Amino acid sequence: MPVNLDKPQQWKADVTASVDLYNTWFMAFAPDAFRTARQKTAGTVLEDLQHTQYLADLTLTTLRQRPGVLRVLRMCTAPPLALDRLVGLSGVNKSLVQTMEASEVGIPKLPQRMANDVLDDQLTRIAVVIRRLTDDYIFPWLAGNSSPSEEQVQRAAAIVADRLCGVLADPIIRNAQEVRQLALIRTWLTARNYVQLQPGLTFRQMPPGTFSFRLNVPVEQPETGKPINLPVDAVIQPHTAQEGDFPILIEAKSAGDFTNTNKRRKEEAQKFAQLRAKYGPDVRFVLFLCGYFDAGYLGYEAAEGIDWIWEHRPDDMTHLGL
């Protein structure tokens, strides 16, 4: 039975309530989430700057050893460089830059199929652009070939971290909001005697009355049929489930403006289509919404057969049989 997708007469009031809830949360908690992320980022920035001897040793060797430093280096220039701008100025392959920035600490990533001489040439080009555009205001010691003081280093790291967090502001806020949304779902479920499963079981092995977060559901790529894992925010097996019943899949979604949701609305439709192609029309896939989701977004999802629960009215989950 549909929950909200078949009730367009309620959408306007729900959108208003959802926007009010998001704005209240943002004013109260987003600044702390941003400050926490900035403090953590400052530590990473400091490590990256140390790796390059505070930009005095910016060479293809240092880039090879720690490719992920590039995302910080782009924030060390005047003006800070967007990824595409760096690609254009250096004339390097965009996939190289994307691969480098996907690196994790201690796990460097470089294109495996790129010849070493080509890679060295492109890394050198990147280093040349960064050195030429380095912000002398942030790194004054470079002009005089001197060593920075501890105060200068801390100040530079703070500024670069602030720039980096500015670029990542939306993902930081979305992540904090998702954590809060999943916590609310957990509280709602545990109050109704649902038990959270520890990692290890597949979604097909979930007993009645259990739930799990960020569980992978196997599907297939539409174009190639290649098996892939589809991460789902919340997977819930109702108390009344019978053996073989498909659990309820919930995606937590938040948005701080209406424009952003219109760009992202096809993601859910594509995910739902992959699930139905693999498991049939009885797949139960529901969105958990908070924020700026207007009638255009809701109408698009409803047309695709995707239902939703509003965060400001979580008891609607009872209509899912929970």
Q: What is the CATH number of the domain that holds 18?
A: 3.40.1350
Residue 33 has pLDDT above 80, yes or no: no
Residue 105: which pLDDT band, with cuts at 50, 70 and 90? low
- Say whether both 147 and 258 belong to one domain: no
Mean pLDDT of the 56-85 span: 90
Report d(CA 61, CA 68) in Å as an integer: 13
pLDDT digits (tens, 9 = 90+) for 205-244: 889 999 999 988 888 877 777 888 888 999 999 999 888 7
Q: What is the pTM of this model?
A: 0.69
What per-residue confidence (pLDDT) applies to 163?
85
Question: What pLDDT does 29 receive?
Answer: 81
State the pLDDT at residue 205.
Answer: 83
Token pair 């009031």 is found at 13
Higher pLDDT, 299 or 201: 299
Q: How far apart are CA 237 and CA 211, in angstroms?
A: 6
Q: Which residue in 107, 84, 106 sits closest to 96, CA to CA?
A: 84
Q: If you average pLDDT over every residue of the chain, what do you get?
A: 88
Torsion of CA 243, 246, 248, 252, to 10 degrees: 140
Q: What is the pLDDT of residue 261?
A: 72
The count of residues in the chain is 322
Element (DSSP H or E) covering residue 13: helix 11-51
Separation between Cα atoms, residue 173 and residue 185, nearest integer Å = 18
Phi, then psi, of 206 in degrees rounded to 5: -75, 125
Q: Write down which residue in 168, 192, 227 finishes a domain.
A: 168
Structure tokens at 212: 């799990």
Q: Is the pLDDT of residue 281 over 90?
A: no
Please check whether residues 72 and 198 belong to one and the same domain: no
Q: Are the C-beta atoms of residues 84 and 143 closer than 8 Å to each other?
A: no
What number is the average pLDDT over the span 87-94?
A: 92
Same domain, yes or no, for 305 and 178? yes
Domain of residue 257 covers 8-32+170-320
Q: Is 145 left (phi over 0), alpha (psi -120 to 50) or beta?
A: left
Q: Is 160 in the same domain as 213?
A: no
